[in-house]
Amino acid sequence: MSADPVTPGSDTGITRDEVAHLARLSRLAVTDAELDVFAGQLEVILSAVSRVGEVAADDIPPTSHAVPLQNVFRPDELRPGLTQEQALACAPAAEDGRFRVPQILGEEA
């Protein structure tokens, strides 16, 4: 493929041989019918990319998001919660002020 950007209406289209070469490099199995379809699709893609390049101007700052982002964190404030006794009141098993759970790693307690 040529290194020059493709401009809309130009006659520097993508050839079947170039599409076949790209398919080989990508290790894609492409039929003869697909070569023509992909050549047309790649032409459209390169034309669109070329148009975007024409619009980009030095006086326009780069944009990472379409809308401004805000910090969604709330302030870290102390709020009332359960006491240790209340939290363990309905536990099936408790030991030393903590939930007691079955041993799963085979480690000595």
pTM: 0.42
Higher pLDDT: 106 or 11? It is 106
Inform me whether the pLDDT recorded for 3 exceeds 90. Answer: no
Across the chain, the runs of DSSP E, i.e. the strands, are 94-95, 98-99
Note the pLDDT of residue 6: 41
What is the rounded CA–CA span in Å between residue 54 and residue 5?
11
Work out the percent of the chain whose per-residue pLDDT is above 70: 85
Looking at residue 18, the DSSP 8-state letter turns out to be H
pLDDT in tens, 44-92: 998 998 888 777 677 777 778 888 888 888 888 999 999 999 999 999 9
CA 39 from chain center: how many Å? Answer: 27
